[in-house]
């Protein structure tokens, strides 16, 4: 006979569980409204303080949003990567991860995304990538360049047809930029970097177009390494090297 350690479950947790389950299971859809706090406290049979603490937790997790004075009640939000973003940021601040780890994950993710996209992309998605590349070429040196760069990588991620790849890619890209933004300004040869990056992207796109996933994967990872390696401390670089040059 085995017993489990008993944990007292707070009232507000039960409320969180029920609402969370209703949202995640799709029983209530994004955009829909919950009852007002005063209604919920009747439905759950708890006080308003308890309801409010539960709602706070759900709001912090980006599952709900409340506005004062809105007679329609708390709004159910669409799932967003904001919470994921925050968790990753916290871990980087706590030194559990550095640029090395985040970049490692990005290389892993985008490399595999190229591999998949080379086989799975539709021609419309290929056009999107080409359009983004054109935008990069046109706006070389401006802030529009990074926007187009993001659009390119996003199109690749979407071509995999996998929402998690899209979302994780998005988050990991943002965090990489946050981690290097202070060192990024005084790059006197940014223009050369961008030109080099553009050339890399062009090669990768060609490989994706040709359906050569392995090549696209290798090129894409190499491009990331070349672009960001200077910002990564030595002990972080060791984590990146197995991802480049390798057959995979």
Partner DNA sequence: TCAGGTATGCTGGTCGGACCAGCAATCCAG
Partner DNA sequence: CTGGATTGCTGGTCCGACCAGCATACCTGA
Q: How far is the CB of 71 from DNA (least distance, A)?
A: 5
- Would you say 226 and 175 are in contact if contact means Cβ atoms under 8 Å apart? no
For residue 134, give the 3-state DSSP assignment. helix
Q: Are 237 and 100 in contact (CB under 8 A)?
A: yes
Q: Which is nearer to its own copies, 103 or 205 (CB)?
A: 103
Site stretch for its own copies (CB under 8 A), options 129-137, 161-169, 178-186, 190-198: 161-169
Verify binding: residue 73, its own copies, rule CB under 8 A.
Answer: no
Binding partner selected for residue 45 from its own copies, DNA, none, CB under the kind-specific 5 to 8 Å limit = DNA
Stretch that binds DNA, among 64-72, 128-136, 156-164, 207-215 (CB under 7 A): 64-72
Any contact of residue 45 with DNA (CB under 7 A)? yes
Least distance from DNA to the Cβ atom of residue 7, Å: 11
x/- mask, its own copies, residues 23-42, rule CB under 8 A, reads xx-x----------------
**In the complex, what is the shortest distance from the CB of residue 84 to DNA, in angstroms, rounded to a whole number?**
23
177 binds its own copies (CB under 8 A): no
- Select from 238, 141, 145, 159 the least CA-distant residue to 204: 159
DSSP string for residues in 29-59: -TT-BPPPHHHHHHHHTS-HHHHHHHHHHHH
Considering only residues 122, 163, 187, 230, which one is a binding residue for its own copies as defined by CB under 8 A?
163
Contact indicator for 104, 244 with CB cutoff of 8 Å: no
CB 224 within 8 A of CB 110: yes
- Asked if residues 33 and 76 have their Cβ atoms less than 8 Å apart, the reply is yes
Structure tokens at 35: 């009852």
Establish if 84 lies at the interface with DNA (CB under 7 A). no
């Amino acid at each position: 006979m085995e017993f489990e350690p008993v944990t007292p479950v707070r009232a507000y947790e039960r409320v969180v569980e029920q609402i969370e389950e209703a949202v995640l299971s799709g029983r209530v859809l994004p955009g829909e409204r919950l009852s007002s706090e005063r209604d919920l406290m009747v439905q759950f049979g708890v006080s308003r303080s308890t309801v409010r603490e539960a709602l706070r937790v759900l709001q912090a997790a980006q599952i709900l949003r409340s506005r004062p004075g809105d007679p329609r009640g708390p709004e159910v939000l669409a799932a967003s990567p904001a919470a994921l973003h925050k968790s990753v940021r916290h871990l980087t601040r706590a030194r559990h991860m550095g640029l090395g780890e985040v970049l490692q994950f990005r290389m892993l993710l985008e490399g595999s995304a190229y591999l998949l996209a080379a086989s799975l992309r539709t021609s419309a998605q290929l056009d999107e990538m080409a359009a983004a590349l054109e935008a990069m070429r046109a706006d070389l040196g401006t802030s529009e360049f990074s926007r187009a760069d993001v659009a390119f990588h996003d199109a690749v991620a979407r071509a995999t047809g996998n929402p998690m790849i899209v979302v994780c890619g998005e988050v990991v890209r943002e965090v990489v930029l946050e981690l290097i933004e202070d060192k990024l300004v005084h790059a006197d040869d940014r223009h050369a970097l961008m030109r080099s990056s553009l050339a890399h992207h062009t090669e990768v796109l060609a490989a994706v177009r040709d359906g050569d996933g392995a090549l696209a994967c290798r090129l894409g990872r190499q491009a990331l390494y070349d672009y960001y390696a200077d910002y990564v401390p030595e002990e972080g670089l060791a984590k990146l090297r197995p991802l480049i040059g390798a057959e995979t």
